[in-house]
């Protein structure tokens, strides 16, 4: 397939691009390379993929990677005109939209960044897909959409009408927008709700990166809700495998058994689906920290803090629908995943003495 993949300088997009290329697909990647976190890490990911920084710093044209199957363009999703031109020129078969303004806490202080990227950028992608005969659009949603829901494990069939952060609200909006385009225009869309992704080349604004760096440097870490937190930590390879199977598999065709009197939020009579991708084994935050301590050989200095605005105490993914549809069940143990991350971290980051 010829695939358009956004967010390829990002954590998940970088890994997915490699997987798609290795499987023989042609990929055109896009990223705005914004400064939400250290752009040097984003450029390092691109360099690892074969894209040189000097080729893209001042260039909005598509540039080739050392692999003939991968090309890259530096562009914002909000740039509707250039995005539409790219779609018309390239005639993509599949689209995977991973580009977004990420982060729950950042959305509280920088709300407009989320509207620009996650709403305006998303409608531009939908419109480009609609007008260019794209066969399947897959996009990143988030476990954050479950919001105030306390029914566990989280199921795609649960109500998600009560988000508690703007980030979550934009992801819920993406699902609604995608369904509208699936229903009105027959565009097959699949939303993937990711659960706390971690691993090599991960984001430095996430807990694993922050904790590892601070512990190695002998600095304190802030642990919220006094440590009474659980997360469904999901290793990057499990996430990428799930996306790959959905993107390269059979697009949704609509649920013939869907009932408007008892509506299933995860499907529709339109070609629309929602899936969780998580490890389905919640880990206590303190156990997660202890595992990091074992890898580093150092004890964490902990500052216990109250719950932060927009945060939830527990996440837990029901992945039965993903398993039923793709045969994929994420199963990487946290201890194994943390070892892989730490090996990468030590190689690519020089801890201060």
Q: Which residues are catalytic?
A: 167
Q: Which residue has the tokens 């609509």?
A: 254
DSSP H helical ranges for the chain: 11-22, 39-49, 53-56, 80-90, 106-109, 111-114, 121-130, 166-185, 207-217, 236-248, 285-296, 320-326, 334-348
DSSP state at residue 224: G
The CA distance from 327 to 269, in Å, is 23
State which H helix or E strand residue 6 sits in: strand 2-6
Q: Are 30 and 5 in contact (CB under 8 A)?
A: yes
Q: Are 277 and 243 in contact (CB under 8 A)?
A: yes
Angle at which helices 11-22 and 236-248 pack, to 10 degrees? 60
Q: 336 Cβ partners below 8 Å, 6+ apart?
A: 235
């Amino acid at each position: 397939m010829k695939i358009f993949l956004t967010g390829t300088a990002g954590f998940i997009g970088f890994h997915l691009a490699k997987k798609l290329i290795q499987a023989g697909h042609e990929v055109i990647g896009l990223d705005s390379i914004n400064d939400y976190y250290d752009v040097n890490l984003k450029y390092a990911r691109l360099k690892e993929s074969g894209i040189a920084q000097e080729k893209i710093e001042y260039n909005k044209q598509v540039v080739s990677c050392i692999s003939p199957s991968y090309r890259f363009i530096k562009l914002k999703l909000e740039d509707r005109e250039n995005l539409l031109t790219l779609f018309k020129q390239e005639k993509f078969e599949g689209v995977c939209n991973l580009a977004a303004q990420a982060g729950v806490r950042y959305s509280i202080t920088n709300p407009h960044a989320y509207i620009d990227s996650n709403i305006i950028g998303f409608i531009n992608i939908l419109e480009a897909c609609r007008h260019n005969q794209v066969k399947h659009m897959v996009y990143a949603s988030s476990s954050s959409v479950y919001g105030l829901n306390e029914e566990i494990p989280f199921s795609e069939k649960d109500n998600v009408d009560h988000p508690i952060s703007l980030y979550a609200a934009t992801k819920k909006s993406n699902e609604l927008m995608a369904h509208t385009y699936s229903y009105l225009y027959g565009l097959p869309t699949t939303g993937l709700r990711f659960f706390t992704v971690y691993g090599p080349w991960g984001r430095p604004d996430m807990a694993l990166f922050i904790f590892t760096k601070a512990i190695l440097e002998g600095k304190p870490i802030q642990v919220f809700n006094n440590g009474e937190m659980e997360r469904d930590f999901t290793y990057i390879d499990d996430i990428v495998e799930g996306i790959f199977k959905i993107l390269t598999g059979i697009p949704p065709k609509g649920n013939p058994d869907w009932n408007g009197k008892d509506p299933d939020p995860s499907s529709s009579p339109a070609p629309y689906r929602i899936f969780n991708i998580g490890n389905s084994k919640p880990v206590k935050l303190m156990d997660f920290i202890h595992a990091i301590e074992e890898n580093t050989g150092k004890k964490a200095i902990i500052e216990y803090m109250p719950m932060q605005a927009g945060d939830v105490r527990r996440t837990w993914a029901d992945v039965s629908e993903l398993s039923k549809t793709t045969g994929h069940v994420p199963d990487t143990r946290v201890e194994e995943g943390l070892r892989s991350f730490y090996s990468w971290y030590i190689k690519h980051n020089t801890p201060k003495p």
